[in-house]
Amino acid sequence: MLENEEVIEGWVTNAKVVGRIAFLEVMDDLLLKPVTVVVKKDEVEDEVWRAATSIKLGSAVRVEGVKPERVVSRKGREFHARALQVLAEPVDLLPIDPTGKTPASPEAYINYRYLALRLPRYRAIFLARSTLMSLTREYFHSKGFLEVNTPKIVGAGAEGGATLFVVEYFERKAYLSQSPQLYKQMLMCGVPRVFEITPYFRAERFSTVRHLNESWGLDVEIGFVDGLEDVLGVLDDYIRYVTRRVNEELGSILREQGFNLLPPIKKIPRYTYHEVIEILKGLGFNVRVGDDLDTQAEKVLGDYLEKQGVYAYFITDYPWEAKPFYIMKSEGGLSKSFDLDIRGIEVASGGQREHRYVELLSNMREKGLNLEDFAFYLEAFKYGMPPHGGFGLGLDRLLMTLLGLHNIREAVLFPRDRFRLVP
């Protein structure tokens, strides 16, 4: 290589020849714009010119050359080639147009995710995902939380038997973890604050735009809480932090790619479950106290609040009956629970936990659980378990609502749903 020469490596996404100059667009970095490689017939060996003018779109290339002092290309990045090496060329027709001009089916963008990742729109989604993950870690580390990793092959589930995936575990039956719920609570008997970024495995049989059978969650548990407020405060602050930082770091490029980016959230209003029922009734929606807030109800409420500039909101005080055994009861059949909805989609749920051994046993009996299955969990409540609370937040759903995506599958590289196990 000559002095002041550089190398770029990437995939050719577009190519054209104008007279004695060839222009190759190469996606060479995690940036959303290709670099325009300029090959001039009069300045390169014949072999290089031949390679440049016969190149197949989609080829992986290595180019040696220099960055010009003045960039003419409208795309903003330019590179003048001296040498060009084709490292690999497609041996079949590309299932996704590398120029991005002809759209493919939604399935093609999943089946050929690696090719989709050469296109700015899909690359932007996963850049945002990567940023969201690192901001999340950064946030909880900076607040003094211990990052933990709990088992994903488990002997008992906390979120209902119907959605457990069974695994053969030698001579016993085991399950894939639906949630770190039991473990993060047990940890509260030894450390004050934990968080985990983890997959959730749930054998939900339906196929919707907001459910996956393998999804990623952020689990947080906080000890020594005085009440639900301490938990809501952490989630509130985290959401304000990530929405602000994603907007600062990626706002302009995401908007340029056409995403309906969630603005920085400044305030998260709170509604009780009963208030939500009243709002929904007022909107002509047919619900009664005691009813679950289904997808349709969530959407109607989300649309109504979004019109008033409210994108994110807490719904608190659900009837205990509708909540899991570990949630603490409160007066009047209610519970110390909450959901966080963003743009009409449930993104997180949590609450204060029942930390008192006797009351916990009674809650579990009331929910019809087999206490023996949970013996290892119950042990932890005998040795000084402090009052605690936390939440589980769907990171795929958070990304979906951040970018305004209509299908959760777009937010995940290789989604697992009712009908999809490959790639």
Question: Binding residues for ligand AMO, per CB under 6 A?
Answer: 159, 179, 181, 200, 202, 204, 211-212, 215, 217, 346-351, 390-394, 396-397
Residue 192 main-chain phi, psi, to 5 deg: -80, -25
User: Nearest distance from residue 1's CB to ligand AMO, in Å?
Assistant: 49
How distant, in Å, are the alpha carbons of 8, 54, 77, 342, 395 from that of 44? 17, 15, 20, 56, 49
Give the Cα separation of 186 and 324 in Å (integer): 16
Q: Which is nearer to ligand AMO, 350 or 387 (CB)?
A: 350
Q: How far is the CB of 349 from ligand AMO (least distance, A)?
A: 4
Exposed/middle/buried for residue 98 (C-beta within 10 Å: 0-12, 13-18, 19+): buried
318 phi, psi to nearest 5 deg: -70, 155
- Nearer to ligand AMO (CB atom), residue 15 or residue 293: 293
Q: Smallest distance from the beta carbon of 363 to ligand AMO, in angstroms?
A: 14
Nearer to ligand AMO, 204 or 291 (CB): 204
Closest CB 416 distance from ligand AMO, rounded Å: 10
The distance of closest approach from Cβ of residue 158 to ligand AMO in the complex, given in angstroms and rounded to an integer, is: 6
Give, for 316, the enclosing helix (H) or strand (E): strand 312-316
Q: How far is CA 270 from CA 157, 292, 383, in A?
A: 30, 18, 35
Q: Are 7 and 84 in contact (CB under 8 A)?
A: no
**Nearer Cβ to ligand AMO, position 27 or 220?**
220
Nearer Cβ to ligand AMO (79/311): 311
| Least distance to ligand AMO, CB of residue 218, Å | 9
Amino acid at residue number 115 = L
Q: What is the CA radius of gyration of the chain?
A: 26
Of 11 and 140, the one with the shorter C-beta distance to ligand AMO is 140
CB of 77 to ligand AMO, least distance (A): 37
Closest CB to ligand AMO: residue number: 394
What CA–CA distance (Å, rounded) separates 48 from 127? 34
Longest CA–CA span in the chain (Å) reads 86
23/165 with CB nearer ligand AMO: 165
The least CB distance from residue 162 to ligand AMO, in Å, is: 12
For ligand AMO, which is the closer residue by CB, 120 or 351?
351
DSSP strand pairing (35-40 vs 60-66): unpaired
Distance CA 399, CA 409 (A): 11
Q: Which residues of 135-144 are buried (b: 16+ CB within 10 A; e: fewer)?
A: bbeebbeeee
Per-state percent for the chain, helix, strand, coil, to nearest 5: 35, 25, 40
Between 12 and 225, whose beta carbon lies closer to ligand AMO? 225
| Residue 33, CA distances (Å) to 16, 90, 123 in order | 17, 22, 10
Q: C-beta of 125: minimal distance to ligand AMO in Å?
A: 16
